[in-house]
Amino acid sequence: MTEQSNIGRILVSEKELAVAAKQAAVQIEKWYQGNPMLLVSILNGAFIFMADVCRQVRIPYEIGFMRVRSYYDSTAPTGALEILMDLSQDIAGYDVVILEDIVDTGQTLRLVTELLASRHALSVRVITLLDKPSRRTVAYQPELALFTIPNVFVIGYGMDCAEHYRGLPYIAEYIGT
């Protein structure tokens, strides 16, 4: 069930999302150097972005999925990472491109990129669909951010509010009650 009343202004339209997916694919093709390439989608939010991007990529690649949760931990200044579902493949010798829905505090991507680099990937790069730089609490910058947005909570195109709205074909601001 989708509550229409909580869907606010559209920040990124369907047309803009299609252009962005193509832009991400072109960047991935530019990064390709003939090494095995793995596209990693961080579930659940990035599943639609992954599906749209990978269908535009015209070099050989594999896909992988991870589900993680990052949280503040007083013993670790950058927070801690809980792996809810790990990649199923060994990534040593791969160029890895992570496809993410949104970089907010930066905690998740900072920890995930460190983790994957420690597994001897040749490179670990990140393409995020959205970036909220004003919310950053740790130093982290993705290699490519397709849209920079203000500090608002967004829904749609894979992103949720309490598991709702993931199927909206555009990205909208969530209007809380």
Sites of contact with ligand IMP (CB under 6 A): 45, 70, 100-108, 153-154, 159
CB of 69 or CB of 120, closer to Mg ion: 69
Alpha helices, H only, the chain: 14-31, 47-54, 107-117
As measured in angstroms, the least distance from the Cβ of 46 to ligand IMP is 8
CB of 80 or CB of 122, closer to ligand IMP: 80
Q: Which residue is nearest to Mg ion (CB)?
A: 45
Contact code string over 92-111 relative to Mg ion, x by CB under 5 A = ---------x----------
CB of 57 or CB of 103, closer to ligand IMP: 103
